[in-house]
Chains A and B, each alone.
Chain A
């Protein structure tokens, strides 16, 4: 997208819903459902980074996990490399795992404490490739080199490393199968700032070298601005706005995006002093019981009567920009 031309769509998500049932009472009947992801659609082009931002609990991580089929989606289509994976099961799904991988948020908990780093990285290789032990070891060394870790670390256990090193192990693990598409689920949220930069630079280098496509999930707007080609903003299970990075940061269309961006501090004290914050009041409604009409109507500073009744449609605003808001209808 950034280079123009005709980019190939690698991932296509259409009308994806992920509802978790709530069971209640003595017989554990289904009493309702948490609509963690509620009808989202977007495309990711090959070689780009799509940033997915939103506040805590808005369903970003669930969306990422559902796209990789770590959950069974309630509804919708997920196409990766032209193949619909939304209903695949068992071996058919496992055979596709090498193309899509995930980097997890908590680098400590997502590594098996009883396995050495070497065996954590080598495990997918022995599962998906017929490789002998020497080749496997060489591949592990190669991957450790690629993420900037010492080869001797292969025989150590995850608890012996710092947070940044563990996240590098997680990245090496995700890269082991030469995936095309990687979902980065807040990979830097658990790290401190100096380490965040290292990991983000590593992700960028790897993307350049290996031609990776990222879905980068984060609540860190500055980091997404640095890394993403396009950005999608999520609120309460829905995508409210999707636009190329610069367009979104310079001229946000949706009131929620405006509020979100107004919260980013500016390093220049002069502009920071005059920065106008849009303060949202109230809490995010429960995804088990979202409001009628527009999901954002309970907190929107520009709310109209219509918003409480009618759900806004997903509108193409031209130049690759999309948003869902009644205000943009006349514009």
Chain B
């Protein structure tokens, strides 16, 4: 398993390099202009000078190479310096990946936005899983019961109604009419005592639930299908013949076996958390990564978009590997060598 993981990691390096190049080419071909949002009174020569200053006068392969140097060498060195307090080489003049729009290093921007996204979107994923697993288990155990029918309806609705609709619906019902929760997420809010904690919970409920319902509807379907699959198996009959309690049959035998594919699906979904829920973050004004990406795209902030997209790609490749390794750990029949 260990050598398998190392081999997969080694293979991931060229894959990711190719992905980063493809992202760069696509962004380069996009017809947007970083100076487009500047006032119209700026004459074209000045605009051209601004573009040249951003390095856009150089050919694409050179710009890509420079981004690679900045991202794969300068940024890691900078991180090491920050963590350890050492000085490696000439750290003053080392170029970092700089956002064109804000003129601050992209990595710092991401680090700033990460906590909000992880709290809101990460929490929604956890809540979604906690809702989905019991629904899936009960739906499968009582197949075609009213609970199962309702669960199917719930997940069909959750899956097919987009989050921008449920988000607005939640705002109309719970913020405007009932006035229970604030409709705008306050990123600057600090939790210091019980009151401020309660405020934090209240402002998180709506964005978390909108995303959680969406996640839960998918995962509960996987859970149900996997449970149904395992409930038919002969070893379940064996477990009953052993005279086990029904709860032990269900939780020890069926559920543990059913979790194998579901855990994989859950692991594969983790990169989405980091990607942020672009739409939901927009609706509730959560200053997360999704929002950062949208703003970056709107202002043609290529270094920002390039770096964010590439980090998502890294996470996707990484969690694919995590899913495979988890599968090998959970299912003794699978051996990677």
Contacts and interface: CB of A to CB of B under 8 A. Distances in A.
Contacts of B235: 109-113
Given A104-B237, A109-B234, A114-B257, A123 B242 contact: yes
A62 B331 CA distance: 31
Interface string B208-252: 000000000000000000000000011101111111110010000
A127 B234 contact: no
Nearest to B233: A109
B232 to A, nearest CB: 10
A102 interface: yes
A68 interface: yes
Interface in A190-208: none
A98 B243 contact: yes
A112 B243 CA distance: 15
A157 B241 contact: no
B244 A127 contact: yes
Contact of A101 (B237, B239, B241, B248): B241
B59 interface: no
Contacts of B245: 94, 127
B244 A110 contact: no
Nearest to B259: A114
A70 B332 contact: no
Given A28-B144, A114-B331, A70 B257 contact: no
A73 to B, nearest CB: 15
B202 interface: no
B332 A157 contact: yes
A112 B241 contact: no
A111 B235 CA distance: 5
A109 B330 CA distance: 18
A70 B242 contact: no
A170 B240 CA distance: 14
Interface in A69-87: 70
A321 interface: no
A311 B234 CA distance: 36
Contacts of A102: 238, 241
B335 to A, nearest CB: 10
B147 to A, nearest CB: 16
Interface string A88-116: 00000111111001101010011111100
B256 A110 contact: no
Nearest to B237: A70
Contacts of B233: 109
A219 interface: no
A157 B333 contact: yes
Contact of B243 (A109, A110, A127, A170): A127
Contacts, number: 67
A96 B243 CA distance: 8
B253 interface: yes
Contact of B242 (A106, A114, A127, A157): A127
A112 B257 contact: yes
Interface in A1-41: 28
Contacts of A93: 243
A104 B242 CA distance: 12
Given A28-B144, A127-B248, A110 B242 contact: no
Contacts of A275: none
B242 A113 contact: no
Nearest to A28: B144
Contact of A159 (B234, B244, B332): B332
A112 B253 contact: yes
Interface string B243-287: 111001000010011000000000000000000000000000000
B72 to A, nearest CB: 41
Contacts of A111: 235, 238
Nearest to B232: A109
A124 interface: yes
A196 B332 CA distance: 28
B240 A70 contact: yes
Contacts of A151: none
**Max count, chain A CB within 10 A of own CB: residue among B144, B244, B330:** B244
A18 to B, nearest CB: 15
Given A104-B237, A109-B233, A109-B235, A124 B242 contact: yes
B237 A123 contact: no
A100 to B, nearest CB: 9
Given A101-B241, A127-B248, A113 B331 contact: yes
A168 interface: no
Contacts of A127: 242-245, 248
Given A109-B234, A110-B237, A157-B332, A97 B242 contact: yes
Contacts of B257: 112-114
Interface string B114-135: 0000000000000000000000
Interface in B312-337: 330-333
A229 to B, nearest CB: 24
A112 B234 CA distance: 9
A104 B333 contact: no
A60 interface: no
Given A70-B241, A123-B244, A157-B333, 14 more contacts: A65-B237, A93-B243, A94-B243, A94-B244, A94-B245, A97-B242, A98-B243, A102-B241, A111-B238, A112-B253, A114-B330, A124-B243, A124-B244, A127-B248
- 9 closest A-B pairs (Cβ-Cβ)? A97-B243, A109-B234, A110-B234, A124-B242, A157-B332, A112-B235, A94-B243, A110-B238, A159-B333
21 contacts: A28-B144, A70-B241, A94-B245, A97-B241, A101-B241, A102-B241, A104-B234, A110-B235, A110-B237, A111-B235, A114-B256, A123-B242, A124-B243, A127-B242, A127-B243, A128-B243, A157-B332, A157-B333, A159-B332, A159-B333, A177-B243
Interface of A: 28, 65, 68, 70, 93-98, 101-102, 104, 106, 109-114, 123-124, 127-128, 157, 159, 170, 173, 177
